[in-house]
Every structure is written in C-alpha cells, then in structure tokens.
Amino acid sequence: MDQEQRTPATVEVCTRAHLVTDADSGDTHRAVRVALRYSPESEVRIVVLNEDAPGWSLPREVLEQGMTAPAGSGTARVWPCGRVATVVEFHTAQGVAVLQFDSARLTRFLSRTQTTPTPVGH
C-alpha cells in the first residue's frame, strides 16, 4: 500500500489521500496519490502525483501537532478529523487545497522521519 524510498537524509512515502474541493463539477471528494517527502534541511513536502498541482510545504512539527489538535503555520493548517483522519489545508493565491489523510499513514510517515540519520557535516 505505502511505498517508501530512503536516502541517508530523506524520507519519501507515496500514499493515498482525498482531495476535497468546492468544484462545480460535483467531483468534490476524490482519492489521489500523494508523495510525502521530508529531509532534516527542509519542511515536509506534499505533492499530488499525476496532477498539475504545484505541491505544498509545511513544518514537520505542524503536521505532527495537527494530528491531535488544530495547528498552523503560514498558509498551512492541520487538524484531526474524527479518530482516524487528519485534514491538511493550504491557502494559496490560486485558492484553497484540502487533503484528508488516514491518520495511521501520517503517523507511520512521521515516525520514519524521526529515525532519519542526520546528514554528515551537521
């Protein structure tokens, strides 16, 4: 289900999420494949695969905190949605992007980022 790729300082997990929109087409809640990427030098990067979406970034700590209580930083907001889901919302000049994740998948991703070795020279 989830696929993981590691380099010494990077964690990347491909998983599923639901993209929630206010589209007039009626397709307001659809499953998408996303890549979650993290390296100690940068923020968590979320990219919807096979889409024209640019991808978004947020601090790792905001993602972790937002799984248990509402959290935010800059244009990103994260909050728990019931007991099994987490919502990640990004505000951009193009509008609002809302992704709903299975919390267990985000927990696995975050646990892998905690064990990422520190790059040489840091």
Q: What is the pLDDT of residues 44-69, one digit of tens each?
A: 999 988 777 678 999 999 999 999 99
Check whether 102 has a pLDDT greater than 80: yes
What value does the mean pLDDT of the chain take? 84
CA dihedral 55, 105, 81, 47 (to 10 degrees): 10
DSSP state of 70: -
User: Six-digit token pair at 81?
Assistant: 């949605």
Q: Burial of 59 by CB count in 10 Å (0-12 exposed, 13-18 middle, 19+ buried)?
A: middle
pTM score, whole prediction: 0.80
Check whether 6 has a pLDDT greater than 80: no
- For residue 7, what pLDDT is reported? 45
Q: Burial of 24 by CB count in 10 Å (0-12 exposed, 13-18 middle, 19+ buried)?
A: exposed
- 46 contacts 36 by C-beta, under 8 angstroms: yes
- For residue 24, what pLDDT is reported? 56
